[in-house]
Structure 1
C-alpha cells in the first residue's frame, strides 16, 4: 500500500502540471536574481587557479597540498550535485536557495579570514556545497516558470553563466593578485551574494510540486567514491604534465575505483526508479532528445575545458606568456559567449535548436583545426582568432543544447534532469582536460626522449592534442541532425524513445 501511495504521489504532478503561458515581472526578476547568484558562485570554481602560487608561498605548503583548494572544490561539487535532483523535489524553492547561499556565504567568510591552509580549504569545501546546489535549482526553476516559447531566450542567460563565469575566474584572479591581497578574492563577492539574497527574499517564490520521498542512504554513499573519485582522478591525471613532468599514474587507479562505484550507483538507481525512489532518476535518458543532447553537451564541455587547459600550457611553455597575458587572450571570447547568450536563445525560440546549432558545431570544428596550426612563432592575434572562433561556436551550441536537454523532459523529471546535466558538465570538463593533457604529455615526452628540443616537443604535444580534439568534434557534428527542430513543439509532451 505504501509503495502504491508513493507512485501515486509521484504521478500526481504530471497530471496537474501545465506549461505557463506568460512570465510575470516578479518571476522574471527572480530568475535574474538566481542567475546573478549562480554567476558569482560558479565564478569561484576557477578563481583559485592563478592565486595558488601566492597562497602556497604565504602558507608554506607544497603544490601537492595547495592544489586541493581547486580539487577539493571540484570534488565536493561532483558529490553534491547528483543529490540535488532529490533535494529540489523534497525542499521548497526558497528554502533550498537560502541553504545554498548560506553555505556559500559561510564558506566565503571562513576563507577570507582563514589563519591557515586548513581553514581556507574548509571554506572552499563549504563554498562548493552552495555552488553545487544553485545550478540545478536555477535550471529547474526556469523550466517551471518560463513559457515554452521563451525558454531558449532564458536558457541563453544560463548559458552565459556557465560559459563566462569559469573563464573569467583566472582573469579576475590575476588582476586581483597583482594589485591586492588574495583575501580580496573572497571579500569582493560577499556584497553581491548578500544583495542577491535580499532581492530573492522579496521576489523568489516557491515553485513546482514537492514529493517527500525517503532518501536512499546507499545511493548517497555511492556518490562519494563514484562521482568524487572519478572526477578527482580525471582532474589530476595530467597534474605532472602541467608542471613539465609525466602523467600521474596513481590517478588511473583512482579512476578505476570510481568507475566501479559509479556502475554500482547506476545499477542502484535503475533498481529504485520503478518505485520512484531513485536519488538521481536516470529515466531521463529514455527521452531521445535528452540522451542525444547529452552526447553533444559532453563533447562541447570537454572541448571548452580542454582548451582552457591546453592554451595556458602552450602559452607558458612555447610562447613564454605570463598568466595575465593568457587571461586577457581568453577574455574576449568569454565576453562574446556571454553577450550572445540571449540573442542565440531568441533564435532558438524562433527557429528551433537544430538550425541554431549547425553554425555552432561548424565554428567549433574550424576553431580547433585552426589551433592545430599553433607553433613556436604563432602571433597573439592568431591565437585570439582561434579562441574567439571557438567561443562563438560554443555560444551557438550551449544555449540550444540546454533548451533541448531540459525541454525534452516531463515536469516530474525536470529536477533530476538538471542534476544530470550539471553532473555531466563536471565529469565531461574533467575528462576533456585529462584526455587532452594526456595526449600532450605523451607526445611531448616521447619526442623529448628521442632527443628533440624541449620547445619542439611541447609544440608537437599541443598540436597532437588539438588534432584529436578537432577530429572528435568534426566527427560528432552529424549528431546535430538528430536534435529536434522547431516543428517538435513542446518537447515535454514527447514520449521516451
Structure 2
C-alpha cells in the first residue's frame, strides 16, 4: 500500500506524488467539513445573539447547501476547463475569505454572506477531491483511498460540535472560524507548493442555457424545501409551491437538453450504468438521514434535555469518531468483499436505530443517546463509501468528472431536503403538542413540545432509511479490470 501511495502511474510518462496531493486535499476538506457542523451547535446560541427564529437560523445551513446545489453541477464543466492546481487554489482562497468574513461578522446578514462565500470554496473542492482520487488511484485500491477520505470527512463533523461547544462556553461563536483560518492558510500554501495537474483539460463549449436551467432547477428545489420550514402556510404557501414548480420544470428542460447535446454540461449518460444509479441513491439517502438527524439531535440535547452546547458536542463525539475510524476499515472490506454485505446490513442498522430514536423522551438517558448515535454512525459508514465507490467504479474514465458532479450535486440537494423536511416536521409536531396542553405559556411544556417534534422528525428519517434498504437489495459488485 505504501508503495502505491507514494507514486501511482496512470498514463505513460505521468507520475503522481500521491501523498502531497492527498494531504493538500484532505486538510482543506477537513476544515470545510468542520465548519459545516461546528455551527450546528452554535445555532441555539445565534438565535439569541441575533434575535432571530429557528427557521431563519436554519438558513446558515440551507444557504450553504443552496450555494452548493447551484455550483456543484457546474463543477464537472470546471474540471474540464481549468487545471487541478487552478481549481484547488481558487477553492481554498474562497474558503479562506469566507472564514475570515464569518470570524469578523457583526450581524446575521454578514454571517450569511460569509457562509455563501465558504460554500463556493467547498463546491469547487468536493468534486475536485473525488475526481482526483479516481484518477490517481487504480480501481482495486480506490476503496481504501475513499476510506481515508471518509475518515477525514467524517471525523471533522464529529469533532466540530465538541470543539464548537468548548469555544462557545469559554470564548464566543466567532472563534469557530478563527480556529479554522490558520489550517486553511496552511492547506493553501501546501497546495501552491505541491498540487499537480491530474485531469485532462478539454475546454468543452459552455452552454448558457444549461447553466441557467441547472441554476433554476437545483436552486429552485433547494430553495422551495428550505422555505417550507419557515413562516405561515408551510408546504402549501405560494412561495414554496411556485419555486418547487419552477425547479422541477427547469430540471426537466435541463435533463432533456443534456441528453440532446453532443457535449453536455453534465453528461447524464452516466445514469445508463445501473450501479452508478444505485450508488447515487444510497449517497442521497445517507445524506438526508445524516443531515436531518445531525440538525435535530443537538436541538433535542440543548432545548429538550437542557444541556450545554459543550455537553451536546461531547455526547455526539464518540459516534462521529467511530464513524471516522470505521470508514477506512469499510473501504478495505469493500475492496475485498464488494458492497452487498456492507450496504444491506448497514441500512438495516440505520433504520433500527432511527426507530429507537423516534421513542426518545426528556427522561431518556445520555448513555442511550450515545449508544444509539454511535450505532447510527456505524450503519452510515457501512453504506456511504462502499456504495459511492462501487457506483463510480462502473463509469468509464471520461465520465468521472460528470459522475462526481452528479453525485455531489444530488448530495447537496438531499441535504437541503433532509434538513428542511426535518425542521418543518419538527415544528409541526411542536405546534400540535402546544395546541393540546392546558397552559401553552408554562415553560415546562417547551422541552416536551421540542421532544414531540423531534420524535416525528426521526420517524421521517426512519422511513427514508427503509426506502434505502429496499433499493440496496439491487446492489451488485462492479468488477473492474486491474490496472498494472
d(CA) in 2 for partners of 1:315, 1:361? 25
User: Could you tell me which residue of structure 1 aligns to residue 389 of structure 2?
Assistant: 403
1:445 equivalent to 2:445? Answer: no
- Output the CA distance in 1 between the equivalents of 2:430 and 2:77: 45
Partner of 1:212: helix, strand, or coil?
A: coil
Q: Does 1:174 align with 2:160?
A: no
CA contact (8 A) 1:159 1:402 kept: no
Asked if 2 retains the 8 angstrom alpha-carbon contact of 1:269 and 1:278, the reply is no
Structure 1 residue corresponding to 2:98, chosen from 99, 107, 124: 107
Aligned to 1:319: 305
Of residues 384-393 and 360-369 in structure 1, the stretch that sits farther from structure 2 once superposed is: 360-369
Q: How far did 1:69 drift?
A: 4.0
- The offset of 1:118, in angstroms, is 4.8
SS in 2 for 1:279: coil
Q: Please tell me whether residue 198 in structure 1 is matched to residue 184 in structure 2.
A: no
Aligned residue in 1 for 2:224: 233
Instruction: State which drifts further: 139-148 or 274-283.
Output: 274-283
Distance 1:34 1:456, change over 3 A: closer
- Say if 1:62 and 1:310 are closer, same or farther in 2 by CA, change over 3 A: closer
Instruction: Return 281-290 or 354-363, whichever deviates more.
Output: 354-363
Give the whole-Å Cα distance in 2 for the aligned partners of 1:115 and 1:470: 39
Q: Which residue of 2 aligns with 1:473?
A: 465
Residue 26 of structure 1: aligned partner: 17
2:292 & 2:428 partners in 1: Cα distance?
16
Instruction: Give 1:132's aligned residue.
Output: 123
Where structure 1 has 5 or more consecutive residues not aligned to the other structure, the ranges are 1-17, 241-245
Aligned to 2:205: 214
Q: Deviations over 1:449-470 (max 9, x none)?
A: 2347845554444334333433
Whether the aligned pair in 1 keeps the contact of 2:159 and 2:320 (CA below 8 Å) is yes
**C-alpha distance after superposition, 1:173-214 (max 9, x if no partner):** 222122224433222222212222222233321112222112
- Matches of 2:327 and 2:364, distance apart in 1: 30
1:7 aligns to what?
Answer: none
Say if 1:368 and 1:467, in contact at 8 Å, map to a contact too: yes
Q: Say whether the 8 Å CA contact 2:280–2:391 is kept in structure 1.
A: yes
Corresponding residue number in structure 2 for 1:44: 35
CA distance, structure 1, for counterparts of residue 369 and residue 106 of structure 2? 41
> 1:199-257: CA deviations, max 9, x gaps?
223332111222211211122223333222322332343346xxxxx774576733642
Comparing 353-362 and 144-153, the one that deviates more:
353-362
Counterpart-to-counterpart distance in 2, 1:436 and 1:121:
21
Q: Distance in 1 between matches of 2:136 and 2:462?
A: 38
Cα 1:370–1:138, aligned 2, differ >3 Å: closer, same or farther?
A: same
Q: Which moved more, 1:112-121 or 1:72-81?
A: 112-121
Alpha carbons 1:236, 1:251 under 8 Å: kept? no
Task: After TM superposition, give the deviation of residue 116 of structure 1 in Å.
Answer: 5.3
Q: CA deviation at 1:89?
A: 1.1
Q: Is the 8 A contact 1:226 1:259 kept in 2?
A: no
Aligned to 1:341: 327
**Counterpart mapping for 1:338-377 below 5 A:** 338-377=324-363
Distance 2:86 2:50 in 1: 37
**Conservation of the 8 A alpha-carbon contact between 1:223 and 1:262:** no
Give TM-score, length-normalised by structure 1: 0.84
What's 2:422 paired with? 436
| Alpha-carbon distance, 1:267 to partner | 2.4
CA positional deviation for 1:90? 1.2
**Aligned match for 1:285, one of 245, 254, 271:** 271
Instruction: Report the CA distance between 1:433 and its aligned residue.
Output: 2.3
The correspondence of residues 245-324 of structure 1 with structure 2, limited to 5 A, is 248-249=234-235, 253-254=239-240, 256-324=242-310
Residue 252 to residue 138, structure 1, CA distance change in 2 (3 Å): farther
Matched with 1:6 is none
Q: 1:459 to 1:201 in 2, by over 3 A?
A: closer
1:418 matched to which residue of 2? 404
Is the CA contact 1:312–1:326 (under 8 Å) kept in the aligned structure 2?
A: yes
Residues 238 and 247, structure 1, Cα contact 8 Å, conserved in 2: no
CA contact (8 A) 2:92 2:188 kept: yes
Structure 1 counterpart of 2:135: 144
Q: Find the aligned partners of 1:52 and 1:372 in 2 and give their Cα distance.
A: 22
Judge conservation of contact 1:20–1:145 (CA < 8 Å) in 2.
no
CA RMSD of aligned residues (A): 3.1
Following the alignment from structure 1 to structure 2, what is the Cα–Cα distance between the partners of residues 116 and 456? 31
The change in CA–CA distance for 1:194 and 1:457 in structure 2 (over 3 A counts) is: closer
2:149 counterpart of 1:158: yes
Residues 72 and 447 (structure 1 numbering): CA distance in 2 closer, same or farther, change over 3 Å? closer
Shift in CA distance, 298/67, structure 1 to aligned 2, threshold 3 Å: closer
Compared CA separation, residues 44 and 279, structure 1 to 2 (3 A): farther
Q: SS at the partner of 2:305?
A: coil
Q: Distance between the aligned counterparts of 1:183 and 1:439, measured in 2?
A: 30
Query: Matched residues in 2 for 1:393 and 1:63: separation?
Result: 29
* CA deviations over 1:122-151 (Å, ceiling 9, x no partner): 333222111111000000000011111111
How many residues end up aligned between the 2 structures? 469
Structure 2: runs of 5 or more not aligned: 1-8, 440-444
Q: Deviations over 1:390-428 (max 9, x none)?
A: 011011111102212221211111111111111111111
The 1:458/1:302 distance shift into structure 2, 3 A limit, reads: same
User: What SS does the corresponding residue of 1:185 show, helix, strand or coil?
Assistant: helix
Q: CA deviation at 1:55?
A: 5.5
Shift of 1:335: 0.9
